[in-house]
Amino acid sequence: MSTSTASAPGSKRAQQRGRAARTGLLAAAFTVSACGLVYELALITLGSYLVGNTATQAAIVLSVMVFAMGLGALGAKPLQKRPALSFAAIELALAFLGGFSVLILYSAFAFTSLYTLPLVVVAFLIGLLIGAEIPLLMELLQRIRKQAAGAAVADLNAADYLGGLIGGLAFPFLLLPLLGQIRGALLVGAINAVAGVVLVLILFRGDLSKAAKQLLTLVAGLVAVLLVAAFVYTDRFETVARQALYAAPIVYSEDSQYQQVVMTESISPFGESDLRLYLNGDLQFSSVDEYRYHEALVHPVMDGPRKDVLVLGGGDGLGVREILRYPDVESVTLVDLDEAITDLARDFDDLVGLNGDALSDPRVEVVNEDAFTWLREQSRAYDVIVVDMPDPDATETAKLYSVEFYALAGARLHDSGRMVVQGGSPYFAPKTYWTIAATLAAAGYEPTPYQVSVPSFGDWGFHAVQASGAATMLSLDEAVGPFRSLTPELLEAAQVFPPDRARRDMEPSTLMHPVILELVQGEWRHY
């Protein structure tokens, strides 16, 4: 029994102290468990923002951390001779490393060509420290009051799992939206340090020498100062780090609930203003040539009935701008998951000027929901559906390029309706481009592929289908022209693919067997 809790055996006062000490220790176990799970989720989320492919990031972080936790538990055996001091030291190390983990990895990504190696190292070290916690807490619990091993394990596991629940819920619903990734991790690091040090200094101070107490206080103070300083200067750091990733000056940046949103603006070589939108580092458009993409996306399927139009994705409003050129369009429903993007399209002056304030048009209804879920709940039919989603380069977007998604979308078309899907680059990502064609075919359509040149992107491809399942005859309604980049002749030529970009036989993408594309070290990999 710790000298700090020792008293006359069997006395009521001793029992009360013992119960209070056990409660305090279990509360500390609850807190450090919550902190540990936040660190795991922070690393997974950061990787999905910066690199994409959430499944891969989760697999790396979880597998490395679980392996390291096993090693940490073994490594804690010799530390059980001085469990109080060892536990405090481990919590301070974990507070520092976990608190700074997001900042360290973001720095590696922004200022070097490395990311995966630092991720593995950080995940391993955090797992190592987390793994040492339970053996030391078990030893401390037994020093308060001896009990059967099974009962002690049950008590600690209950506190540990409950802490994991609270940490797991707090990260996406509280820390991430209110503080962001860097500040959220730093705050949790501070909580981690307080939980470990307070537990030891209050309940087990009798186990520490005077020098150990002084050293522990000094190190705790140093960790606190570093965490607070980093918290205060987070905005300045993020500004510098983000700018290192982009050649042009950043004019807007935000970490939304779903992604990192960045806009840059510069002067092109031709003297034009070049406004660019990036989501998680991926270019979405350049104001210099975005009209080439959006004219090709919208107008070939607008020649026909078009009273009611549905746009899935395209929250920047640039596709909607093209749709509103048709005076007989009565309604446009825009479904985009991220409210931050649609707010930007309505409120950021430069973008509003580019999209013609399209989202403020009374004919436009904006819905901020997941397109897949939203489609399942709808019964209304549309004349035209424009699918303008981010590329399928992550597991969370792969479902939007699946047989099931296209079948849902097609069920919302009138009998004479048409749908167009942006398909990525048939040059840089031919496998993905033709996989989308195969997926549309598996959903019951005969896709008509076509491509145009968008200098900021390179060659970019699309697939047009119609509700009847027959091949689509692409045409333009020149009454709303002139178009800046399209003519009937160019549209006809856009349907011709050279041999090195010809159709490939690919397997369709489904919810259970998604196909995603990932850019790894400069090479496109197809999964």
Active-site residues: which are they? 388
Q: 430: which 2 tokens?
A: 């031919």
Contacting residues for 42 by C-beta, under 8 A, at least 6 apart = 101, 102, 171, 181, 184, 185, 188
Q: 310: which 2 tokens?
A: 């549905």
DSSP letters, 413-473, are EEEEEEEEEEEE-TTT-HHHHHHHHHHHHHTT---EEEEEEETTTEEEEEEEEETTSSPP-
User: What element of type H or E holds 366?
Assistant: strand 364-367
Helices 83-111 and 210-232, axial angle in degrees (round to 10): 20
Cβ pair 42, 99 in contact under 8 A: no
- Please calculate the CA angle 73-78-81 and round it to the nearest 5 degrees: 115
Of 295, 255, 250, nearest to 275 (Cα)?
A: 250
Distance CA 123, CA 43 (A): 8
Distance CA 32, CA 36 (A): 6
Task: Provide the 10 A C-beta neighbour count for residue 511.
Answer: 12
E-only strand ranges, 259-337: 260-267, 273-279, 282-286, 308-313, 331-335
E-only strand ranges, 115-272: 250-255, 260-267
Q: Would strands 523-526 and 517-520 be described as parallel, antiparallel, or unpaired? A: antiparallel
Look-up of token digits 């640039």: 318
Cβ pair 440, 407 in contact under 8 A: no
